[in-house]
Structure 1
Amino acid sequence: MSSMKKSILALGLMSAGLMSAQSMDMKNMIKIGANVGLAVPAENASANVGLDLSYQNLITPGFGLGIATGYSHFFGRENTVNNVNIDNNDFGVVPVAALIRIYPKQTGFYFGTDLGYGFIVGDDKVASNVASPDRPDGGFYIKPEIGYHNRDWNVALQYQKTFTGDKGEIGTQKYNAGALGIGVGYNIPLGK
């Protein structure tokens, strides 16, 4: 079984265990969301769109912990490196992360981050039209965000990044799996 399948299975088992272990009240919720952004810096990708799925438990009224996953699709872009045109492939990022949120008030401003590992999926090569290195398999994942929340909705400015070191570089083009964007999430309370 591939490492990605094992990670997704483990995440599913952890989610089921956490959800069944918690009391059935409004402190526990599933968050479903979508995001869109621009690749930063835009060397091998231009933009991204994604779906987010997370489970959150409010440890206190102002502090939440949980687990997060989803899928972000990065659109490859053409780039010129040393007078050679490169047609970079699309790729995706599947994070497996811890979720941390701080809510100073019941409604209003919030901030937090997701921390974990981002699996990079897609074509095996960075580019399709030149001899290119293998794309990275993944790396440390972080997604800080700041936004507005109420009982049902979250809207946030977010930055997501999967660190790949120097893997997947073509000449002076660094492999980038990061984007600055906007996310919207809907909260589904578990319990009464």
Structure 2
Amino acid sequence: MNLIKKSVLGLGLMTVGLVSAQNSDMKNMIKIGANVGLAVPAENASAVAGIDVSYQNLVTPGFGLGIATGYSHFFGRENNGIDNNDFGVVPVAALIRIYPKQTGFYLGTDLGYGFIVGDDKVASNDPTNKERPDGGFYIKPEVGYHNKDWNFAVQYQKTFTGDKGEIGTQKYSAGAIGVGVGYNIPLGK
């Protein structure tokens, strides 16, 4: 947990540094959003709900780079007698966005590391007492619609955990497909 606190603090300091280093020509923004979805595959979780926070700089009018974080809560489910625990994913990622037009269709992804947090055990009734993974490579591709203030997207998020957290034939999955909405807060005048 200490590593997560340090990562979030570091991300916050980077954001403050990037924001204060930029001018006020409306090409920098903070994005705040929410997402919901279904876990895929739905072996150890059923659904996900989360919040997103990111900083974006429009390098060119059609291309944005930044940093992203947030929290996604995966709701554990019963699977063949295994009572899987809830868990969360806290990403620390680079944000990449492509905007073909000033408003309309866009696509992008977040790439980085997803920290898995929550109960130390995969399931509450697992006789092998299998520990959950700590995290892994994180990706969140999305396609959506944007205007000056809002973003609406269909997205997939996945934290790759390898074979960590498997119980018998049940694989551990921290992936979901869903929808998200975000509000853009411009920095500057």
The two structures have a TM-score, normalised by structure 2, of 0.98
The percent of aligned pairs where both chains have the same amino acid is: 84
Match of 1:129 in 2: 125
1 CA distance for matches of 2:3 and 2:53?
Answer: 20
Moved over 3 A (4+): none
Offset at residue 129 of structure 1 (A): 1.2
CA root-mean-square deviation: 0.8
Residue segments in structure 2 that go unaligned for 5+ positions in a row = none
Structure 1 residues 42-191: aligned runs within 5 Å: 42-80=42-80, 85-131=81-127, 132-191=129-188
Is it true that 1:24 corresponds to 2:21 in the alignment? no
Match of 1:2 in 2: 2
1:97-139 residue CA offsets vs partner (Å, 9 max, x unmatched): 0000000000000000000000000000000012231000000
SS in 2 for 1:190: strand
Offset at residue 5 of structure 1 (A): 1.1
2 CA distance for matches of 1:164 and 1:61?
Answer: 36
2 CA distance for matches of 1:7 and 1:78?
Answer: 32
Offset at residue 145 of structure 1 (A): 0.1
The two structures have a TM-score, normalised by structure 1, of 0.97
1 CA distance for matches of 2:5 and 2:163?
Answer: 25
Residue segments in structure 1 that go unaligned for 5+ positions in a row = none
Aligned residues: 188
SS in 2 for 1:10: helix
1 CA distance for matches of 2:103 and 2:5?
Answer: 37
1 CA distance for matches of 2:59 and 2:35?
Answer: 26
2 CA distance for matches of 1:178 and 1:75?
Answer: 12
Letter aligned with residue 161 of structure 1: K
Letter aligned with residue 114 of structure 1: D
Offset at residue 7 of structure 1 (A): 0.6
2 CA distance for matches of 1:127 and 1:160?
Answer: 22
